[in-house]
Amino acid sequence: MLPLDSSLIRLIQFAIREDLGTGDITSDLSIPRDATAAARFLMKQDGVVCGLPMLQLVFREFSSDVDIELKVNEGDRIKSGTVIALVEGPAHALLAGERTALNFIQRMSGVATKSRQYVDQIVGTKARVLDTRKTIPGWRLLDKYATTVGGAFNHRLGLYDMVMIKDNHITACGGIREAVSTIVADLHDRPMIKVEVEARSLDDVLEILQCKGVHRVMFDNFTPEAVAEGVRLVDGRLETEASGGISFENIRDYAEAGVDFISVGAITHSATALDISMKLFVPKQG
């Protein structure tokens, strides 16, 4: 479900102010204030539609008289040429909100579509695709919502909801054992926080297995063959995750290595916005 909180409303309002500024000068000079209009939101390429709830949230910032009729469901695979929504209301509201509404649903649909492509690529394996923190600043919740619409799973939302001991932490603490023991000792009153440790070699994996309190090991920049050996060493004692160097072309090799999770930054940082347009039309009378 789309996360409806104050940060999302502030983001929408910021986007509107950024676009509208002192007003829509073109519409103000050409269209009567009391004019009404109707418009279609049209998919212009195949993909997974995402962000439909944003239409209501954006247009209500301009007028409570905008009516929205959704023609498809969130997360549907849509063919090019499909009308995904109809909007009707004050012409000034529709035109002023057009670009902001499109920016949201185009980006979100692009992320959902790319996520679905990666998820489909590993169908039949036990692996699950995870997103990362490689998101547009300020868009974290929307990007991570869109990945789930595309069938992926959320990794940690930020630095606050999961411990991830990476190479820099290990270096700063003086080693894997030192980092893990220090952190786990301080987590005794927060048992719900999971601990993941990054491994850069199979020797690191063996050392992580000797540490108490670890929930998941991350094979960082391992080859698929090394991941398979790491999975064998772990032998189900911890969750396993592959990360780094994952592409659409090789993700199935990693999945078939037996890993539980595969984190893919590309589903957010390299997603291309889907081509969606809003076109005004004259409603039939009677």
Write out the catalytic residue numbers.
99, 134, 166, 198, 220
Buried b (16+ CB within 10 A) or exposed e, 38-74: bbebbbeeebbbbbbbbbebbbebbeeebebeeebeb
- Say if residues 110 and 274 touch (Cβ distance below 8 Å): yes
Q: Is residue 101 within 8 Å of 55, Cβ to Cβ?
A: yes
Q: Is 43 left (phi over 0), alpha (psi -120 to 50) or beta?
A: beta
Are 240 and 217 in contact by the 8 Å Cβ rule? The answer is yes
End-to-end CA distance of the chain: 37
Structure tokens at 166: 């990476």
Q: How many helical (H) and strand (E) elements, i.e. helices and strands, does the chain have?
A: 11, 12
Residue type for position 17? R
